[in-house]
Amino acid sequence: MSTNILAEPPAGSGLKAVPGSNTPGLVQVMKLRQDPFGFAETNRQKFGDVTFVHVFGTTIVSCAGPEAAERILMNKDRAFANGPAWGFFIDKFFHRGVMLLDFDEHRHHRLILQQAFTPTILKGYMQEMQPMIMNAMKQFPVRDVLLFNEFKQLTLDVALEVFLGLELPKKEADKINKAFIECVRAGVGLVRADVPFTRWGKGIRSRKVLEEFIYSHIPAKRAKETPDLFSVLCHAESEDGHRFTDEDVVNHILFVLMAAHDTSTITMSQMAYHMAKHPQWQEKAREQSLELNPELGYDDLGKLDVLDAIMKESLRMCTPVPAQPRMAVRDTEVNGYFIPEGTMVQVPNLSNHYRDDIWTNPFAFDPERYSAERKEDKAHRMAWMPFGGGVHKCIGLYFGQMEIKTIMHHLLRGYEWTIPDDYVLPMDYSALPVPKDKLPVTIRRR
């Protein structure tokens, strides 16, 4: 690996040039996909925390560590934008989703979206989803199952009901599910053109399927208010009386469904894996769930502190959104390094969660690190950051945690699950991190 620099800093600025490797992009992508931790660590040892790589047909400056994360995500001087950075990966598939908007326009749309995530509305969602989840759990397969697939199906059903207020026949729900998967996987495809059978090509076709599906339901949603996100977005108004257009509604719904779906499935799969690998934690979490009623109330969520610690640790060890890209919209700096206008930077959430200057024994599953005595996650405001930070911080973080805990609560009460002693979950890091084998487990009714 030879050292090169990204760009010469302006004379007299006192800034340093970003070092990095000019190794061709394809080689870097392969290394990154195979072993993201090894890749990040090798680069860090050779070049430091701020370093560039050529990947996905562009150059990205990775800015590791909590200070860099704070600088970029809090973005006090508005030097970084989301749209051109996330847009590079997903604009074709999640055009004008709120995460792709910037500055005043982002604020305007986010304030309207926020109306669908107030505590009162969240309590309503919880009431809607609880019977669905309880019912699904009663019919949970008691045999060897691919747990990732089961969670995925369940979160999609919840999303369709709670966000869209629609009950779809299985065939149509499967079609929508497939279209989402294709859109999510498309952004990091190696071929970035509408070529049949490539990830990108499939993503473009899937976006059309999803758009037609949402557009077809808008007239009914505009006509009558119902307790779901789709309806809220059709009726919500900003202070100056502005309403989302049909196009806005489609773009936001598709983005939120995408943002809610895979992230929660990944988190639950990780939690289930760690609880199978460390059955003492499964038992501890079950004990707490058994102390509560089967039907979990909104106020009970805070009582599940063992499950909460397991969730936090799972989110640390496998952050569903492994990096947050941004584009420098003018010449700027990160940690004293010169970042020229037009440079794509990224906050590497996943590898930040393995820094040994913050986390003791970072590769060990250790939910006690969040205890009041240790509080490792509070070492820095950006130490534990699976939900990001700043104005784009995850809008669904309470919804996501509520859904995850409710599902796990019912699973723990009704079932035990195991994996062979020597089993290690094989991960696919080529898009969002998912288990390659869909997490096979043996389920027994309790």
Where along the sequence are the contacts to ligand HEM (CB under 6 A)?
98-99, 110, 256, 259-260, 263-264, 267, 320-321, 324, 386-388, 392, 394-396, 399-400
Pick the closer one to ligand HEM by CB: 267 or 351.
267
CB of 221 vs ligand HEM, minimal distance in Å: 18
Question: How are beta strands 58-63 and 344-347 bridged, if at all?
Answer: parallel
Give me the least distance between CB of 374 and ligand HEM, in Å please: 22
Q: How far apart are CA 386 and CA 351, in angstroms?
A: 11
Q: Is 104 or 373 the residue whose CB approaches ligand HEM more closely?
A: 104
Residue with Cβ nearer ligand HEM (388 or 435): 388
Measured from the CB atom, the residue of 189 and 396 that comes closer to ligand HEM is 396
Nearer residue to ligand HEM within complex by CB, 202 or 355: 355
Distance of CA 203 to the CA centre of its chain: 18
Nearer to ligand HEM, 22 or 149 (CB): 149
Q: How far is the CB of 99 from ligand HEM (least distance, A)?
A: 4
Q: How far is the CB of 368 from ligand HEM (least distance, A)?
A: 21
Closer Cβ to ligand HEM, 251 or 263, answer by number: 263
Phi, psi dihedral angles at 432 (to 5 degrees): -70, 150
| Least Å from the CB of residue 186 to ligand HEM | 18
The least CB distance from residue 393 to ligand HEM, in Å, is 6
d(CA 291, CA 33): 42
Question: Which residue's CB atom is positioned nearest to ligand HEM?
Answer: 396
Q: How far is the CB of 194 from ligand HEM (least distance, A)?
A: 26
